[in-house]
Structure 1
Amino acid sequence: MRNGGHVRKTAVMLALQRLFGVTPDQRRLRRQDFHVPAAEVNPPNERRFTIEAVLAFPELDDPLADASAVPEFFSQMATDDSGRMKCRLRMEGIWTDDGSIDGAIEHTYRAVRTMGAFTDAECSDLKPKDRARIQLIYVPASRDGISQVTAFLRGRLWRAISWSEGTRTTFASAGSALNNAFSGEPAVDAVVAAVTRRWQQVHTAGTDSTPVFRPIDLRFEQFIRKAEVLFRPDETGRERGLDELSDGQRSLFHLAMTAATLDVESNLATDPSPDGFQSGGISVPALTLIAVEEPENNLAPFYLSRIVRQIQELTAGSRAQAMLSSHSPSILARVKPEQVRHFRLDPKTRACRVRGIRLPPIADEASKFVREAVRTYPELYFARFVILGEGASEEVVLPRLAEALGLDIDRSFVAVVPLGGRHVNHLWRLLVDLDIPHATLLDLDYGRAGGGWGRIKTACAQLMENGVRPDQLFQTPSPAGPAADLAAFDTFAAANWTDIQTWARSLRRFNVFFCEPLDLDYSMLMALQAAYSAPEPGRSGPSPAGEPRDAVLGDRGIHALYDSSQ
């Protein structure tokens, strides 16, 4: 998931946490979970919300796949329009203004046994054991590494270990010895006596009359829950606590701890009687969701590839899925475009639209090109405006032109993507799908083979492929159809510069612009001849030998369209 800040990526993760959180606090609904419309003037006495999750089971289509998780959800399944089995989970919440600070919140969590409209008879309340079949591990942008890690150890793995009697006996004897030594200190005895005297002055009940200080809790279960993580060595060769690590180090360790926990759970799922663990001592979820929020907040780009790679390893099997939200191009460059979900917030309604990335068919050459374009220039996902250009010159010149015109263009918000004139229609479709404003700057190539009318024809064809009607392009569309309109360009005189200019400028209303008459480099040369005529220090400049028009227009170009001075 990607886009700039405040586009509700966190809201999606929190919604999943309400459905599949591993602690009661994570599943608890809060007042701020309920949407407040942007245009609301008078707050209502009641607000409602609905969260739905639909689980698919692709392993049912593969006879060789691991289908062990399917029976756990069988009683809640429904079939979609194509006959595929799915599980539809639905949480409904109601907030009521009862006069208290936070109001009263009620909710239901049910499985719906149909994929369309439903009645209460087609729903069943989800039991806690059914809810526990899916767990969400949420790694928020603001890391509280200590509490997160200890929650993992306390809640899932430590209690499942089959602790030996030797360990329990050693703990009991060592703990008792430490407590006795502590209590035997004269100063401790003086403190206890003072506290006891003051306590008994205010507390006269027969029970709980004598306070006792014990540094070691002799309850074994409580002892192991307090296990801490230490790292060694530090700069002085000593141990360092987790809270002493930097924010970035804590982030990395939390992700590593998450991965290690899932590794152990995966081993427990395949081996019902693992060495050192209780037989059946842990209920392994059928599906684990990993939600990582903006890891770039605390980590340098160098580490992001490691995080992405580790998440990909965890989700390679059928028991884990992951979501990673980001506003960093560094992460998007490491993710396949089909795995991206684009978030864009409507500032008027404060509602967010989520879209997948629509790509050409995989077998198409355009597919490979577009995939490489969005991976090479992931900035376009985050841009507020995109300029599709021909090559590297546009990347350099356009920002400098904007600066000279007094336009403050931040490259993080205005992306210049060089396309070389290829497959521009697919990039148009992508940007339209994502609702990103854009303009296209193409070379007119007047005088080159395929240039002039050929470039106009290609642009018109690509515009029609993206939904522009023929009557929007042509004053009198041919009765024979768009193909005839496009074929007419081949009959126009190549030297008719006036009509070519008229057509090129008419396409500007579709945000398609042409560098006239050739390309941006030629336009720069004609505008700044003195600068281009001065060779760089230590260089001799271009060779005077040969015909420049041959080099610029090519053997198949129409050289007569330019005189020697041009």
Structure 2
Amino acid sequence: MQLTKVFISGFKSISNDVPQLICFHENLTTFIGSNGTGKSTVMEALCKLFSVDQSLRTISHNDFYHNDEESETDKTLIIEAWFHFPEPCEGQLSIPPLIEHLTFDDEAGELIFRVRLEATLSYELNPLGDIEENVWILNCCDKDPDESDMTKCSSAVRNSIQLNYVPANRDPLIQLKYSSKAVLGRLLKAIEWSGDYKKLLEEQANALNLLTDTNPALSEIADAINKSWRSVYKGRYLSQAQLKFPISNIDEILKLLQLQFNPNELGNRVSVDRLSDGQKSLVYFSLIKAMFDIDRKTRKLLSEGKECNFNHEKIRLPIFSMICLEEPENHLSPHYLGRIISLVKEYGSYDFCQVIISSHSASILSRIEPEQIRHFRLDNESKCTIVCELSLPDDKDEHSKFVKEAVKAYPEIYFSKLVIFGEGDSEEIILQELIEMYSKNIDANCISVVPLGGRHVNYFWRLLNSLKIPYITLLDLDIDRNGGGFGRMKYAVEQIITHGSSDSIYVNNSIIKIIPPWDSPNNPLSFSINYNVGKADEASRVLLSELEECNVFYSSPLDIDYSMINAFPDIYCSKDNAYSEQGPNLVPLGKEKTLIDAVLKSGNTGIRYNFGDGYLKKFLWYRYRFLSNKSKPASHLRMLSLIKDQYSEGEIIKKLPPELTRLLDKVVKIAEEIIE
């Protein structure tokens, strides 16, 4: 049995007008998104249906989607869970007991079990609002079922599906109480005591109480209290006051059980309340894991007809169980998170178990497969929660592995308000520095600069389009390099059209055949296309400018490394004496082609474009700094430090390559439009 999807409408941050259908991975599903986007809302919705804590099932006024314009109008909410039944292992039942009223899903071609909670908030007879709720089993696949297709869900069926909610603030002491909703209490209450052992415990407890009667000091205290009590209280009942240990029966004895750890630095025992916050979180996880291990072992023994240590009626083994784990990274150092993820993955691997996690941790997300992620955001217009899966290449696609690994490598993408894609590490270093100069704090504005390489950037456009996260792309123009110039521009146009990442009327299918080949003598920077040829309102548009309107920018004429050399030749083309640089060897006369081939690489057209005054000197330093064994990021960090020492921020901004200035202006514009 597995939870496949949940439909939510009108619950907390999920509106009735934009209900959400969340599909779940078979073992583990991870909710990600910025704070306040509704991750906890979905977990709480599942709690309303199946939580083991009855207090979390109650529907309150605050559970209904609230719109300021409709503060006291009648409201409705729906929370619906769909389960299916995968092929069972040998010797197991396909459909668990208690599950009835199944229906056939024509779309999926399988039997499903639908449970729906419906609640209404009415102000008709009560100005404070009356809440009515019902839980139904649906016997059809229709979105709006008839009453004839709805059957009341019994408590037995509802309680047989158990959800354990592990909140972000974890206090293990709550789970160590002797109560039916605490982990330890549930297990202790279910112990199958043998008559002799239970009797022995109670006899030992009574013997302990007899000691209080024989101790002179305790007897004197008890007599004094009793005498004072009888002088002020003359009732017929409760007339005797005694000092006793509260352990007259097995339940009272078990209430005194305490989880302890030893040894501490002094060799003593330590109770849970003395542990650190991180250690308390680990204790909480250990308790949950212990409960499910015992559940699984008991289930196995019962299925084999063997004796076990727990009463099967009292332990209430579920037919299906879930853990909702909220922000497991809280209070824990990163190296513990791998253990927690391994723990929940093991739990989710069993046929009757499933795990849901919400997280902001890059360390956790790097251990989660992209297919298991559900992204949460707030819609800019309606301000309600939107949930979607990641749009990824098909597993059969040769690029699938690259994209999935890159997404795992840069999980900050998911939490960004704006993403800037660059070709490599140089863009990451330079753009982060320049954005800070533009007074746009990267962290405060949730801006991510991600070096992914232009060859695969189209897949990330599709991914971010699906997540509705704005993005800007900075690619290399590579003029006079093999496939560069118009070749790079044509590639971008094709991908923009394919992935629908722009509403531009000028970047469309009609211009693809007009774009010259990569080795055309035309200048890519000034190449324009005439629209409406022969008409009075004929429009001529520079292709590079139209691509920038689509948020695709190019470092020209080659890449960002050469652009920075062009902008700051006095820094990049000089020895860094503090670093004991020797500088490049001069090129002998007549050997310039060797240098040009080294910079423009194999298959180049030779120098046709104006690479700036003194380009041979710049090529020489380009090769020295960026094509030798030196680290590009380290070189840029040192050069940027020298630039900041020599120029003010205002002077640096004025000297920047024009394409970077335009890109930064676009960053500022988008950042100001983003709503938190």
> Same fold, TM exceeding 0.5?
yes
Which amino acid is the alignment partner of residue 50 of structure 1? I
| SS of residue matched to 1:540 | coil
Match of 1:419 among 452, 466, 476: 452
Match of 2:191 among 148, 161, 182: 161
Decide whether aligned partners of structure 1 residues 487 and 53 sit closer, same or farther in structure 2, where only a CA change above 3 A counts.
Answer: same
Decide whether aligned partners of structure 1 residues 486 and 149 sit closer, same or farther in structure 2, where only a CA change above 3 A counts.
Answer: farther
| SS of residue matched to 1:422 | helix
> What is aligned with 2:170?
143
Q: Give how far 1:343 is off.
A: 0.7
CA displacement, residues 18-37 of structure 1 (integer Å, 9 cap, x when unaligned): 11111322322233222212
Which amino acid is the alignment partner of residue 253 of structure 2? F
The reply to whether residue 291 of structure 1 matches residue 340 of structure 2 is: no
Equivalent residue runs for 1:85-164 within 5 Å: 85-96=111-122, 104-116=130-142, 117-150=144-177, 151-164=181-194
> What is aligned with 2:440?
407
The reply to whether residue 301 of structure 1 matches residue 328 of structure 2 is: no
The reply to whether residue 53 of structure 1 matches residue 81 of structure 2 is: yes
| SS of residue matched to 2:115 | strand
The reply to whether residue 539 of structure 1 matches residue 581 of structure 2 is: yes
Match of 2:97 among 47, 67, 72: 72
8 A contact 2:367–2:408 mirrored in 1:
yes
Which amino acid is the alignment partner of residue 544 of structure 2? A
The count of aligned residue pairs is 555
8 A contact 1:160–1:278 mirrored in 2:
yes
8 A contact 1:77–1:85 mirrored in 2:
yes
Decide whether aligned partners of structure 1 residues 430 and 470 sit closer, same or farther in structure 2, where only a CA change above 3 A counts.
Answer: closer
Equivalent residue runs for 1:344-359 within 5 Å: 344-346=377-379, 349-359=382-392
The reply to whether residue 316 of structure 1 matches residue 373 of structure 2 is: no
In structure 1, what is the Cα distance between the partners aligned to 2:558 and 2:583? 22
Which amino acid is the alignment partner of residue 364 of structure 1? D
Decide whether aligned partners of structure 1 residues 407 and 25 sit closer, same or farther in structure 2, where only a CA change above 3 A counts.
Answer: closer
> What is aligned with 2:494?
461
Match of 1:395 among 412, 421, 428: 428
8 A contact 1:153–1:225 mirrored in 2:
no
Decide whether aligned partners of structure 1 residues 331 and 154 sit closer, same or farther in structure 2, where only a CA change above 3 A counts.
Answer: closer
Q: Give how far 1:203 is off.
A: 5.8
In structure 1, what is the Cα distance between the partners aligned to 2:321 and 2:307? 20
> What is aligned with 2:548?
508
TM-score w.r.t. the length of structure 1 is 0.91
CA displacement, residues 489-509 of structure 1 (integer Å, 9 cap, x when unaligned): 338823434544821121111
| SS of residue matched to 1:490 | coil
CA displacement, residues 424-483 of structure 1 (integer Å, 9 cap, x when unaligned): 1210111011111111111111110000110011001101111268983358x65xxx8x
Which amino acid is the alignment partner of residue 560 of structure 1? I
Root-mean-square deviation (CA, aligned residues, Å) is 2.7
Shifted more, 218-227 versus 353-362: the winner is 218-227
| SS of residue matched to 1:489 | coil
CA displacement, residues 348-392 of structure 1 (integer Å, 9 cap, x when unaligned): 534111111121110112211210111111000000100011100
Match of 2:270 among 230, 240, 257: 240
Q: Unmatched 5+ residue regions in structure 2?
A: 1-30, 529-541, 616-676
Which amino acid is the alignment partner of residue 441 of structure 1? L
Q: Give how far 1:16 is off.
A: 1.1
Which amino acid is the alignment partner of residue 28 of structure 1? T
In structure 2, what is the Cα distance between the partners aligned to 1:35 and 1:470? 33
In structure 2, what is the Cα distance between the partners aligned to 1:542 and 1:413? 40
Q: Give how far 1:552 is off.
A: 1.1
TM-score w.r.t. the length of structure 2 is 0.76
Decide whether aligned partners of structure 1 residues 442 and 226 sit closer, same or farther in structure 2, where only a CA change above 3 A counts.
Answer: same
In structure 2, what is the Cα distance between the partners aligned to 1:553 and 1:440? 22
CA displacement, residues 511-566 of structure 1 (integer Å, 9 cap, x when unaligned): 11111111100100111112112234233223334632111111311222146832
Shifted more, 349-358 versus 219-228: the winner is 219-228
Decide whether aligned partners of structure 1 residues 492 and 555 sit closer, same or farther in structure 2, where only a CA change above 3 A counts.
Answer: closer
Question: Percent of pairs identical after alignment?
Answer: 34
Which amino acid is the alignment partner of residue 565 of structure 1? G
Which amino acid is the alignment partner of residue 552 of structure 2? V
Which amino acid is the alignment partner of residue 8 of structure 1? G
Which amino acid is the alignment partner of residue 284 of structure 2? H
| SS of residue matched to 1:330 | helix
| SS of residue matched to 2:137 | strand
Decide whether aligned partners of structure 1 residues 74 and 166 sit closer, same or farther in structure 2, where only a CA change above 3 A counts.
Answer: closer
> What is aligned with 1:343?
376
